[in-house]
Amino acid sequence: MESDLQLKGKTVVITGSSKGIGKETATLLKDLGANLVLGSRSNTEKISGTVLELPLDVTNEESVKAFYEQSIKHFGAVDVLINSAGVGMFASVIDSSVEDFDQMILVNLRGTYLTCKYFGKHMAENGKGHILNLVSIAGTTALPGCGGYSASKFGVLGLTKVLQLELRQKGVQVTSVHPGAVSSSFWEQIEPKPDMSNMIPVKTVAKHLLYLINQPPGAFVDEITIMPPLGIL
């Protein structure tokens, strides 16, 4: 089926592109001929064919603005924005670090707000476009040890719902994507390590994103939940 999904000429922006879901999605879309703008804190500016890699700090408005302007300058228009930049630190609320809490709000919520603000305006002016915000099941379900993470992700879900109402009549689709636990690099800095054997393969999530941006015309997908076979892990 993937061989039938051609993205040649379509420009897709991906934040958090250096690892995890963002990296896997970028690899998949590149193979299907998409123009890609890849943003990450670890990137240096590099152009290779239809792939533009740029440094990006989603918490910093000037960085997001420069990233947006270079994207438009290079490709002329952006069709899809995939917000996959995110961080997670886990502890009970009373034992959590204020610094960790602030960082999650900055990256997960403020970062999504800033990219949606700039690219959303561009799409609204063009009368078309698709924003996919990676929320998480922790943005819809209360989970012990996820206070700061859930607060940021519940915020992203609220922001996404408002964007749906504000942009729908302007031809822009906004989709909230809620994966359960994904077997990705997200867990590298987390101790103790969870059992990842029954988590969703990262490539599976990337394929779901691919199908979302290739859906037939005539309908918008507002929300999708992607769960491990055995449920929340």
Residue 62 buriedness (CB in 10 A; 0-12 / 13-18 / 19+): exposed
CA distances from 171 to 68, 105, 115 (A): 20, 29, 18
Q: What does the alpha-carbon distance between residue 222 and residue 86 come to, in Å, rounded to a whole number?
A: 21
The helix/strand/coil state of 20 is helix
Which tokens in the block code for residue 145?
């040890």
Q: How many CB atoms lie within 10 A of CB 130?
A: 22
Q: What does the alpha-carbon distance between residue 106 and residue 63 come to, in Å, rounded to a whole number?
A: 14
Q: Which of 68, 113, 118, 149 is catalytic?
A: 149
Active-site annotation holds for 149 = yes
Q: Are 155 and 133 in contact (CB under 8 A)?
A: no
DSSP state at residue 54: E
- Quick one: which H or E segment has residue 188? none
β 46-48/51-55 pair status: antiparallel
Residues assigned a catalytic role: 149
